[in-house]
Chain A
Amino acid sequence: MGEVKLLSNLKPGQKGKVIKVGGSGSTHRRILDMGVVPGSEIEVERVAPLADPIEFKLLGYHLSLRKEEAQNIHVETS
């Protein structure tokens, strides 16, 4: 149904459903710990003044990730 994109490529206001969280090591696990797991709904809230990092909304709270971290997250847009 939806189109699979990298989370870093979404524009502010766009939503997606996480389908895969790539990467490895402690960074990977920390992203998972923050609730970015397959199935989570995630929305791009805004981009920082210098284009990086990006602020996301998920599970009713705000999380900020750098572009390079968001690049490892695959989402399905509706």
Chain B
Amino acid sequence: MVVEATVARHVAIVDYGREVEEEIAKLEKSISRLNVLAENYPARWLAVKLLENDNDIRKKIESLSGGVEVIRQADASMARLQDIFGDEAATIIADYRYGFIHGLMKQVLKKPVVEKLTTSDKIDKIVTNRVLGIPIFLLALWVVFKVTIDGSAPFSDWLDAVISGPICRWGVAILNLIGLGGTWVESLWRDGIIAGTGGVWVFIPLLLFLYFWLAILEDSGYMARAAFVMDRIMHSIGLHGKSFMPMILGWGCTVPATYATRTMRNEKDRLVTAEVLSLMSCGARLPVYALFAAAFFPDHAAWFILGLYVFGVFWAIVMAKFFRNTVFAGGEKAPFILELPPYRVPTLKGVFIHMWERSEFFLRKATLVIMSVCVVLWFLINMPWGVENPRDSYFGKVSAAIAPVLAPTGNGNWQAAGALVTGFVAKEAVIGTMSEIYVGGGGAAAAGPTPTFVDDLKEIGVGFFNATVDSGKTIISIIPGVNLMGGGGEEEDTALIRAVRGYFTPLQVVSFNVFVLLYIPCMVATAAFISEFGLKWALFNAGYLTGLGWIVATLIYQIGRLLGLG
């Protein structure tokens, strides 16, 4: 049933004073003759906008037939007002508006006589302090990453156990039921879908944690302070305090970050920001670093990962500065006019909405795109039929053809090349491909009694509970001097971690990860770039990033070898 409500609308019309009102009335009359616009917008509003010298409205009216005369009339009106008041019409209008607001406030609002220091003020005293402001910001970032990486690990392990255990078994059981057990379909399920997709799903807890903490920073109001603290730096490298937000989002996913540049008013600022966004290492690259960190630098994993993030930021700064002085030189600078809202305790609902909005996109990508890529890859690796060594498969041949190009970076083998190629589809697919190449196929079915369905469910439930407890303990252990994890915490390495150790040297690992950090954004991010800035700039983006990645990775590898590190 549709209820039609009659709403009595009070239209508050601000009185702009006799002189301004006279000009408004004259303009209104002329505008109402341009009936095309007057149908969509109130003529009075258009008249006010013209007097305020609003560029968009001017252009819109100018494009109409007869519009040029209206613009000329508006210019004359503005000049007249300037003569009378000695100030721009825009100022006069804003003045009257605030006069109206002040009057209203006087009637309805009682203010305390003595203004006391609010909690927000007290927090700001510390957080935006001249000495402490920047260290606190860096500390906040560090805590976010530490909590994200350590806190999510137990859940990742749990998810890994669930996917490679019960879920894999259930699938096989179903295949057995319909008579496909032991055929190539079981291999596709086990080595293609479970090994590939599962390897990526394991990292979903990581992303959820990251988005959770970013949402808390944002909803509490701290992000605005971060922009305030960081604007000077951003400004000096040719960016804007507002570039900061998309860039932070870039740590989550380049796609929403690219869209987030829309909040910037200046087109050049926006394009420069977007061009360096991909250097803010996205969440999908984190699984790659995390894997290699666990395999090669288990005791310094957080430092290895943080190092890559900082390295990305470093290149973002260098490239932004470079672009500002070359490709995007000149142009009007955008102002920094930002409200610092009072601090609020984030609501759980708000945080989860933010978290969900950002994760949802990735989850869909992870399920749909990655699953299809894994299936296609499984076929390429297993074709021609009966191929024994993946090297002889179609996939191996394509990758081997590309590999020589990567030789100077130290990773000129077909496995690494293949993983990087699939990385264009989605960065986290690098992991999926590697587990496909290094682990898939070799996974012999575990012997012993098959657990029942009830056992499986119990295992899943108990595992989740334990993961939650462990995660809580790790997070608390971040506080210096507290260690609830008891000693070194010998973790069981996954099959992939063990496998990777045999294929890379530490120097190759560094070069490989730096290349993953810098090279071409994934296809989804590229698509977003095309839709926002056009094909030309998207190609420019993909091209310069890949070139940069190749050069930097090559330098690292070659210099490292000269120093005897390889």
Contacts and interface: CB of A to CB of B under 8 A. Distances in A.
Contacts of B111: 60
A61 B224 CA distance: 14
Interface in B78-129: 87-88, 90-91, 94-95, 97-99, 111, 124, 128-129
Given A48-B232, A50-B233, A63-B338, A26 B55 contact: yes
Contacts of B55: 26
Interface string A35-78: 10111100001111111110100001111111001000000000
Given A32-B94, A62-B340, A49 B335 contact: no
Given A49-B130, A49-B134, A69-B335, A32 B232 contact: no
Interface in B7-54: 52-54
A26 B334 CA distance: 9
A64 B98 contact: no
B53 A69 contact: no
Nearest to B55: A26
A37 B232 contact: no
Nearest to A50: B232
Contacts of A30: 335, 337
B336 A46 contact: no
Nearest to B125: A46
B336 A32 contact: no
B95 A39 contact: yes
A21 B341 CA distance: 24
Contacts of A13: none
B339 A61 contact: yes
Interface residues of A, number: 36
B334 to A, nearest CB: 8
B235 interface: yes
A33 interface: yes
Contact of A65 (B336, B341, B342): B336
A6 interface: no
Contact of B336 (A37, A60, A66): A66
A34 interface: yes
A59 B365 CA distance: 46
A47 B133 CA distance: 11
Interface string A7-40: 0000000000000110011111111111101111
B300 interface: no
B120 to A, nearest CB: 8
The winner among A30, A64, A69 for most chain B CB atoms within 10 A is: A64
Given A25-B332, A37-B91, A39-B98, A46 B128 contact: yes
Contact of B128 (A34, A48, A66): A48
B360 to A, nearest CB: 32
Contact of A38 (B54, B91, B133, B341): B91
Given A48-B231, A53-B232, A63-B338, 16 more contacts: A29-B94, A32-B90, A33-B94, A34-B339, A35-B98, A37-B95, A39-B95, A39-B98, A39-B99, A48-B228, A52-B232, A52-B235, A62-B341, A64-B337, A65-B336, A66-B235
29 contacts: A20-B87, A21-B91, A27-B337, A29-B52, A29-B54, A29-B94, A32-B91, A37-B91, A39-B99, A46-B124, A46-B130, A48-B231, A48-B232, A49-B128, A49-B131, A49-B232, A52-B231, A52-B235, A53-B231, A53-B232, A61-B341, A63-B340, A64-B339, A65-B335, A65-B336, A65-B337, A66-B336, A69-B335, A69-B337
Interface of A: 20-21, 24-35, 37-40, 45-53, 55, 60-66, 69
